[in-house]
């Protein structure tokens, strides 16, 4: 997927040039006012960029140099916003059927698969007024998918939900990057939400793309601006390999293992976990006695300054190209001689499971 847009408003200019995956969840992440929703509107054709170009699955939706601009109603896309905007006088089933008819999907193609994906079969005969916020959003996503889109756009779909309702809908959203064959653009300003759902990450600030790439690779960069370095950390995929007698679970990552609080899941299950830079300390030799259980050999790839006086961010390379970040003091860096190429021991104090 290719996207190039330039859009100017008083006091703000959006200018992006992106190549994005044709499958999986791409998160647009950044502070308020960074241009995330404006960029999403350009994808939808709701905002017209000068010199814009958009290619989805090999089909050109917009090329201003050729005078081509498909209006929103002719773009095969699904839209999900903060509010579900269901028809209050129609049942869930009728809301879904309306969406299908609007898209010419009169045969109900994919109906059963869609309600199974989002777990909404028990809701079909209810009215929107009898649904929780999370249930309404699941119905809104199903309605968008039943239009048979080639691109799904989601603008902070969890922003209006409380923690309980977010927890209700997140497992269903996780299925999107596993089971959908179309790209999903997902706008969010919640780091944990992005870490749990995204496959690809676009970091935005002041209308521009600061970084873009696979989630793990992008989060593990040590050179991101302060806006994104307040609480840095990486996301890893690990495989559950066993349960320990003392209540811990053992996870396998390329070139090593992690011990975490017990996970109730079948062996072999792939889990996402997040390791914050603040939870990684460094040593030059393996500790003989330590309460820290996760000890990984690593090599320093880069050292970068932070906006916190007296602290630096260290990028570490593990086996198989895996990377971690460690936030340490400048005094510790100097005392240990931390610099690119140095072999160190990474001591991981905490691993957050994203489930």
- Give me the mean pLDDT over the 86-95 stretch: 92
What's the confidence (pLDDT) of residue 277?
94
On whether the CB atoms of residues 42 and 49 are closer than 8 A, the answer is yes
88 burial class (0-12, 13-18, 19+ CB within 10 angstroms)? Answer: exposed
Residue partners of 107: CB distance under 8 A and separation at least 6: none
Locate the DSSP E strands across 191-330: 200-205, 208-214, 233-243, 248-253, 256-261, 270-276, 280-283, 294-305, 311-317, 323-329
For residue 106, is pLDDT > 90? no
Rounded Cα distance between 235 and 246, Å, is 26
Domain locations in the chain? 2-217, 233-353
CATH topology of domain 2-217: Rossmann fold (3.40.50)
Domain range 233-353, CATH architecture: Beta Barrel (2.40)
Q: Which two tokens stand for residue 98?
A: 């309306």
Categorize the per-residue pLDDT at 98 as very low, low, confident or very high, splitting at 50, 70 and 90: confident
3-state SS assignment for residue 177? helix
- Give me the mean pLDDT over the 335-353 stretch: 95
What's the confidence (pLDDT) of residue 21?
95
Each residue of 17-50: pLDDT tens digit?
999 999 999 999 998 899 999 999 999 999 888 7
For residue 107, is pLDDT > 70? no
Each residue of 52-84: pLDDT tens digit?
999 999 999 999 889 999 999 899 999 998 887
Q: How many CB atoms lie within 10 A of CB 87?
A: 13
* Packed helices 133-145 and 163-174: angle between N→C axes, nearest 10 degrees: 30
What's the confidence (pLDDT) of residue 226?
62
Rounded Cα distance between 132 and 166, Å, is 11
- The edge-to-edge listing of strands for the beta sheet with 270-276 is 256-261, 248-253, 233-243, 270-276, 352-353
DSSP string, 259-286: EEE---S-TT-EEEEEEEGGGEEEESS-
Residue partners of 253: CB distance under 8 A and separation at least 6: 236, 237, 238, 239, 318, 322
Q: How many CB atoms lie within 10 A of CB 162?
A: 12
* Spatial CA neighbour of 172 closest among 140, 204, 200: 140
What's the confidence (pLDDT) of residue 354?
84
For residue 211, is pLDDT > 90? yes
Categorize the per-residue pLDDT at 108 as very low, low, confident or very high, splitting at 50, 70 and 90: low
**What percent of the chain is modeled with pLDDT above 90?**
66
Residue 13, CB half-sphere, CA atoms under 13 Å: how many?
3
For residue 109, is pLDDT > 90? no
Rounded Cα distance between 336 and 167, Å, is 42
Categorize the per-residue pLDDT at 266 as very low, low, confident or very high, splitting at 50, 70 and 90: very high
Categorize the per-residue pLDDT at 355 as very low, low, confident or very high, splitting at 50, 70 and 90: low
* Packed helices 133-145 and 111-118: angle between N→C axes, nearest 10 degrees: 150
Q: pTM for this structure? A: 0.90
What's the confidence (pLDDT) of residue 235?
93
* Ramachandran assignment for 321, one of left (phi > 0), alpha (psi -120 to 50 degrees), beta (any other): left
Categorize the per-residue pLDDT at 121 as very low, low, confident or very high, splitting at 50, 70 and 90: very high
Residue 98, CB half-sphere, CA atoms under 13 Å: how many?
13
Instruction: Residue count of the chain, please give it.
Output: 355
On whether the CB atoms of residues 87 and 81 are closer than 8 A, the answer is no
Decide whether 2-217 matches 233-353 in CATH topology.
Answer: no
Q: Which two tokens stand for residue 219?
A: 């989060």
Q: Which two tokens stand for residue 350?
A: 């905490």
């Amino acid at each position: 997927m290719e996207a190039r847009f330039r859009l100017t408003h008083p006091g703000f200019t959006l200018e992006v040039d992106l190549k994005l995956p044709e499958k999986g969840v791409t998160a647009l992440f950044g502070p308020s006012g960074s241009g995330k929703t404006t960029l999403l509107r350009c994808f939808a054709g709701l905002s017209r960029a000068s010199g814009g170009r958009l290619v989805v699955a090999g089909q050109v939706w917009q090329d201003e140099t050729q005078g081509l601009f498909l209006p929103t109603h002719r773009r095969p896309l699904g839209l999900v916003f903060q509010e579900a905007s269901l028809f209050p006088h129609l049942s869930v089933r009728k809301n879904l059927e309306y969406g299908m008819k609007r898209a010419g999907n009169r045969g109900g193609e994919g109906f059963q698969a869609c309600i199974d994906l989002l777990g909404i079969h028990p809701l079909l005969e209810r009215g929107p007024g009898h649904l929780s916020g999370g249930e309404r959003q699941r119905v809104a996503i199903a309605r968008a998918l039943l239009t048979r889109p080639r691109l799904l756009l989601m603008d902070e779909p969890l922003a209006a939900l409380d923690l309980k309702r977010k927890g209700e809908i997140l497992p269903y959203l996780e299925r999107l990057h596993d089971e959908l064959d179309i790209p999903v653009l997902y706008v969010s300003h919640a780091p944990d939400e992005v870490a749990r759902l995204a496959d690809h990450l676009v970091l935005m600030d002041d209308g521009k793309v600061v970084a873009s790439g696979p989630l793990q690779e992008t989060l593990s960069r040590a050179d991101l601006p302060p806006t994104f370095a307040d609480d840095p950390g990486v996301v890893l995929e690990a495989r559950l390999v066993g349960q320990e007698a003392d209540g811990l679970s053992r996870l396998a990552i390329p070139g090593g293992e992690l011990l975490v609080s017990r996970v109730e899941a079948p062996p072999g299950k792939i889990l996402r976990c997040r390791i914050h830079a603040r939870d990684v300390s460094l040593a030059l030799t393996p500790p003989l006695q330590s309460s820290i259980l996760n000890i990984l050999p690593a090599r320093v790839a880069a050292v970068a300054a932070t906006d916190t006086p007296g602290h630096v961010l260290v990028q570490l390379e593990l086996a198989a190209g895996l990377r971690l970040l460690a936030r340490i003091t400048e005094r510790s860096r100097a005392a240990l001689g931390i610099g690119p190429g140095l072999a160190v021991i990474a001591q991981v104090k905490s691993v957050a499971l994203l489930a």
